[in-house]
Structure 1
Amino acid sequence: MTNSKKTHSQEALITVKSLVKRFEKKQGTIFRRTKSTVHAVNNVNFSIKKGEILGIIGESGCGKTTTARMVMRLTKETSGQILFDGQDLCQMGERELRRARQEMQMIFQDPYDSLNPGMPILEILMEPLNAHKMEVPFEEKRKLVIEILEHIDMKPAETFLYRYPHQLSGGQRQRIAIARALILKPKFVAADEPTSMLDVSVRMGILQLLKSLKEEMGLTMLFITHDLSTAAFMCDRIAVMYRGNIVEIGPIKEIISNPTHPYTKALVAVVSDLHHFLGHRHEMILDGEVQNEVVQGGCPFLARCPQQMDTCQNSIPKLEQLSNDHYVSCFHLHPESLISANKQAN
């Protein structure tokens, strides 16, 4: 879903509309405290079609993890809608959310933190079953645990049941985290940089496992990453995020072959031609970092854009359709938006 009138709600499992998240940040000493507003997510719109993997890519601090946590109801939104199979999660009570959570699971970034070190693997994997399927007998739950362990290639499964997380490798721990997310056979999974904490040698195995499980189980997935090459391997479409805003969204092949927003061009150049990127960096993107605390009325990419105009300082460009299912937020690419912004300013 984008800001365009065109929608795919009839096919979408997840639809996010005008999603906003702001945090209040206190600064200064105990005698002189000041508050600033952190704009973590700003008016984000997208949809994820059934059976699709949508990636969100961007630098640390751009709002991608906060977006995923809001979709999973781990963080409350400031405003907006999150529809799951047509039902607004933001309006659900705790009992309704409990039912929905059986069909929505999250894989966290760090398996060292997400697994309880004091519990054996059998108990870790039984936790979701005990929470949502209390009526199922213990032996049947144990059988489900063994089945999911074999499904993630941890064989023979019985040899892992009574091990603790510290007795496993990093890759094995992340496989357990994946198994815990999938044991309830959810419709939707959010994966928050699931390989970033792992050794390079085991990352591809985890990514291939996720792709195969997605196909076998018919999963719909939101995949968070800062690595474009990982997104290219995993995702059907990607949304490029900067300072809490989606600046470009479209099919992965089109984004890589035809990056359009200045920020997307810089991300693609890093992967495709690092030396060229370093040698001509000033032409593509200015030095700087993501600064969500700075409040301005203009384009979120203004401070680092080499193509900025006067209008960019006063107006925020909207996502506009560039081609089929490809949307970009930039005045340079949509002159009609520039004309409209100038009229509003005057």
Structure 2
Amino acid sequence: MENLLEVRDMEVHFTHRSSLLDILLGKQKKVVRAVDGISFDLQPGEILALAGESGSGKTTTGKGILRLVEPTGGSINFLGEEVRDFSRERLRRFRRDAQVILQDPFESLNPRHTVYQIVSEPLIVNGMIHNLKEQEEIVDQALIDAGLDNPRLFYYRYPHELSGGQRQRVAIASTLVLNPKLFLWCIGR
């Protein structure tokens, strides 16, 4: 069986900006090695958990896989294709198939959008709906699958009106609507 995802020696390094004094003194730029050589395989239907302390690179690993931050080394293969070589259009299609939920849903949910707008936006952006009835059915099912019974009670609520658990479920629902092949969930302790 072909691996869904193969990550080999992936690195994500960030360079700190040098101050004027550092430049004048000829000091080298400081490099933060957020992810330094992680490797793993993931088969369809398989679950992989990355555990570690806060700041250990779990979220950066997920962002690197999706190229939300650019990896500085290694390879990332999704169904046999090198993600680091994807064109802008291919990367957009890949991100439809590979979804991420970030650690803090309050920061990732648009505070000016209702729950309905948040959950239906990926469908609209990806041109996956044909009419309003279909959109509502998909949004309803995603909210139910994410653990929010009576989904229509949440349609016109905003993120700040929800509990932390409800916000997390809305974030999950907004990824489920796309029926991704790869689901990355970055959670902390």
Check whether TM > 0.5.
Answer: yes
* Aligned 1:176-187 pairs, distance under 5 A: 176-187=170-181
- 2:142 aligned with 1:148, yes or no? yes
Matched AA of 1:65: T
Between 145-154 and 116-125, the greater mean CA deviation after superposition: 145-154
Match of 2:32 among 12, 33, 38: 38
What is the CA–CA distance in structure 1 between the aligned matches of 2:177 and 2:128, rounded to whole Å? 14
1:271-294 deviation line (CA, Å, top 9, x unaligned): xxxxxxxxxxxxxxxxxxxxxxxx
Aligned to 1:25: 16
What is the CA–CA distance in structure 2 between the aligned matches of 1:139 and 1:106, rounded to whole Å? 27
Aligned to 1:114: 108
Match of 1:15 among 6, 11, 17: 6
Aligned to 2:161: 167
Corresponding pairs, count: 185
1:43 offset after TM fit, Å? Answer: 2.4
1:135 offset after TM fit, Å? Answer: 5.3
- 2:58 aligned with 1:64, yes or no? yes
* Aligned 1:66-145 pairs, distance under 5 A: 66-133=60-127, 136-145=130-139
Question: Structure 2 length normalisation: TM-score?
Answer: 0.90
1:4-27 deviation line (CA, Å, top 9, x unaligned): xxxxxx442110112122221135
Aligned to 1:7: none
Question: Helix, strand or coil: the match of 1:161?
Answer: coil
CA 1:32–1:42: 2 relative to 1, 3 Å: closer
Question: Helix, strand or coil: the match of 1:99?
Answer: helix
Matched AA of 1:21: V
Where do 4+ consecutive residues of structure 1 move more than 4 Å?
A: none
1:190-228 deviation line (CA, Å, top 9, x unaligned): 1111xx4xxxxxxxxxxxxxxxxxxxxxxxxxxxxxx5x
Which blocks of at least 5 consecutive residues in structure 2 are unaligned? none
What is the CA–CA distance in structure 2 between the aligned matches of 1:128 and 1:190, rounded to whole Å? 16
Matched AA of 2:13: R
CA 1:153–1:24: 2 relative to 1, 3 Å: closer
Question: Helix, strand or coil: the match of 2:50?
Answer: strand
> Higher relative CO (CA 8 A, sep ≥ 6), structure 1 or 2?
2
The structure with the largest alpha-carbon Rg is: 1
What is the CA–CA distance in structure 1 between the aligned matches of 2:143 and 2:137, rounded to whole Å? 10
Question: Helix, strand or coil: the match of 1:102?
Answer: helix
RMSD of aligned Cα (Å)? 1.7
8 Å contact kept, 1:16–1:81: yes
1:67 offset after TM fit, Å? Answer: 1.3
1:174 offset after TM fit, Å? Answer: 0.5
Matched AA of 1:40: A
What is the CA–CA distance in structure 1 between the aligned matches of 2:158 and 2:109, rounded to whole Å? 9
Percent of paired sites with the same residue? 38
Aligned to 1:279: none
What is the CA–CA distance in structure 2 between the aligned matches of 1:159 and 1:12, rounded to whole Å? 40
* Aligned 1:199-238 pairs, distance under 5 A: none
Which blocks of at least 5 consecutive residues in structure 1 are unaligned? 1-9, 197-226, 228-346
